[in-house]
Amino acid sequence: MCQEFSVLYVALCLAQGYHSRLVVAMDKSIPFDWTGPHAWAEVRIDVVWVHVDPSDQVWNQTYHCRTWWWAKKVGSTVSIFGFEDGKVTDLTEKYACAN
């Protein structure tokens, strides 16, 4: 469900002219499961990417991911990627610092 909310949120932001990207946490210890433990969005405001989790109704709380079961695995088996304009950005370090 989080994937659908996040994709819709990013699409709506892009349609309104905002820079936005889909962010997906992927557990590498579960082969071929590309759905990931969680997905959310980020919106660029000025030069800062702001965390937005539409499924949890959370805004600008990068450290919110601490509440999820996979949070302690970020940086070990869980990697976090941002998808924007056909590019993939590794955001693991940004969210690993939150733990």
- pLDDT tens per residue, range 34-86: 566 788 899 999 999 998 988 777 767 766 666 666 667 676 788 889 999 99
Please give the radius of gyration of the chain, using alpha carbons only, rounded to the nearest integer: 13
Which spans in 1-99 are helix H? Answer: 2-15, 92-96
Domain that holds residue 24: 2-96
The total of structural domains in the chain comes to 1
- Residue 35 has a pLDDT of 60
Q: Which residues contact 88 (CB under 8 A, 6 or more apart)?
A: 81, 82
What CATH number does residue 21 fall under?
A: 3.10.620.30
CB-side exposure of 4: number of CA atoms within 13 Å?
1
Distances from the Cα of 29 to the Cα of 26, 55, 76, 77, angstroms: 9, 24, 9, 6
**Weakest mean pLDDT among 5-14, 42-51, 88-97:** 88-97
- Residue 12 has a pLDDT of 95
Interval 13-22: pLDDT, tens: 999 999 999 9
